[in-house]
């Protein structure tokens, strides 16, 4: 075989190899996997994901779970998303960040806040009593103590909203000087009305519950009326951080969470199979245009702060950073 023929064959192999590599890269670049807090389900699946698919030509594969459950699935190797959005920074700290968690992530960013409310069914049997609460003639916690009142909540072992519900009741006991308020409210039902986060609102809409402890955005998204709570108990106001921190909850897995203002975070997993797309996605979500979708769904924007190794945060995202998030 002549040298020219050998060279030609080598060139063909190089070209074919390059095509195969490019094909694989294209296949990877076309898919993005994400896990997000259940309270983000509506805005992600109805607004953000379709926009990402259109803007970046992506096949977005998203799942909504209670943040604690979602993080455990990642920690245990049951899921390997590119990006993860949590409803509590403490979940990231305990299950994803650092050596103790096999360096699943090196950093995360805060970008939204929320508050607890009591959403109620328009067809419940306590309309007159709710009117008294909304007019200021009756304290909201007394409504929860009424015989037969069905208050739904999520599992505190799987979902931050679940343990924040317990925080809300503990803080209310302190704020209103009501001993054993949490125990009285939770024992008011003949059965424990605990549901997965993504099912709770459906139970409320179909009047299988009188009310549920939800995030404000969830009530707004579903067009459900809700009772606003004082900042001292709704976990929304950084001014009351010291008061919030007086309460805590230990899960069945011995993870301990303290009361904190409600903050949402976003990060890219170190083992992401499509980091370039993930970076572009975060760049869009953190932009004014991206966060506007969340505002329209009832969330509040907050300064974007980081936690973890700042040097590992992609250069493209550095422009958003307003400082370091304080997590005790």
Tell which wins on pLDDT, 148 or 173: 173
Task: Tell me the average pLDDT across 87-98.
Answer: 97
The greatest distance separating any two alpha carbons of the chain, rounded to the nearest whole angstrom, comes to: 98
**pLDDT for 24 beyond 50:** no
Tell which wins on pLDDT, 3 or 35: 35
Q: Which of 165, 109, 145, 113 is nearest to 285 (CA)?
A: 109
Counting residues of the chain whose pLDDT is more than 90, the rounded percentage is 83
Query: Measured between alpha carbons, how far is 34 from 264 in angstroms, rounded to an integer?
Result: 15
292-324: buried (b, 16+ CB within 10 Å) or exposed (e) per residue?
A: ebbeebbbbebebbbbbeeeebeeebeebeeee
pLDDT tens digits, 221-253: 999 999 999 999 999 999 999 999 999 999 999
Of 14-28, 63-77, 219-233, the range with the lowest mean pLDDT is 14-28
**pLDDT for 19 beyond 90:** no
At 81, is the pLDDT very low, low, confident or very high (cuts 50, 70, 90)? very high
CB 219 within 8 A of CB 226: yes
pTM: 0.88
- Kindly report the average pLDDT of the chain as a whole number: 91
Q: Which DSSP category does 326 fall into? A: P
Task: Tell me the average pLDDT across 8-16.
Answer: 46
Query: What are the chain's domains?
Result: 32-114+262-320 (3.40.190.10), 116-256 (3.40.190.10)
pLDDT computed for residue 222 by the predictor: 92
CB 245 within 8 A of CB 258: yes
**pLDDT for 11 beyond 60:** no
pLDDT computed for residue 2 by the predictor: 57
pLDDT computed for residue 5 by the predictor: 54
Tell which wins on pLDDT, 99 or 15: 99
Q: Which DSSP category does 149 fall into? A: -
């Amino acid at each position: 075989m002549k040298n020219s023929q050998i060279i030609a064959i080598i060139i063909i192999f190089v070209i074919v190899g390059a095509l195969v590599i490019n094909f694989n890269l294209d296949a990877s670049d076309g898919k993005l996997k994400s896990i997000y807090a259940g309270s983000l389900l509506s805005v992600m699946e109805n607004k953000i994901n379709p926009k990402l698919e259109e803007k970046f030509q992506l096949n977005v594969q998203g799942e909504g779970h209670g943040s604690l459950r979602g993080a455990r699935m990642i920690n245990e190797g049951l899921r390997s998303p590119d990006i993860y959005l949590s409803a509590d920074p403490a979940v990231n700290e305990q299950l994803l960040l650092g050596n103790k968690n096999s360096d699943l992530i090196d950093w995360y960013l805060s970008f939204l806040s929320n508050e607890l409310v009591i959403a109620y069914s328009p067809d419940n049997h306590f309309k007159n009593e709710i009117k008294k609460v909304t007019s200021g003639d009756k304290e909201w916690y007394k409504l929860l103590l009424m015989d037969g009142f069905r208050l739904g909540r999520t599992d505190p072992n799987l979902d931050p909203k679940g343990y924040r519900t317990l925080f809300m009741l503990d803080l209310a006991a302190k704020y209103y000087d009501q001993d054993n308020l949490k125990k009285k409210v939770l024992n008011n039902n003949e059965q424990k009305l605990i549901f997965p986060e993504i099912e709770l609102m459906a139970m409320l809409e179909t009047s299988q519950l009188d009310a549920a402890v939800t995030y404000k955005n969830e009530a707004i998204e579903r067009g459900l009326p809700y009772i606003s709570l004082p900042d001292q108990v709704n976990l929304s106001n950084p001014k009351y951080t010291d008061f919030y921190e007086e309460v805590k909850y230990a899960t069945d897995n011995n993870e301990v969470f303290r009361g904190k203002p409600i903050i949402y975070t976003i990060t890219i997993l170190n083992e992401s199979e499509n980091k370039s797309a993930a970076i572009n996605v975060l760049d869009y979500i953190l932009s004014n245009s991206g966060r506007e979708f969340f505002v329209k769904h009832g969330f509040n924007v907050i300064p974007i702060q980081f936690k973890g190794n700042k040097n590992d945060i992609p250069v493209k995202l550095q422009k958003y950073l307003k400082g370091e998030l304080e997590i005790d």
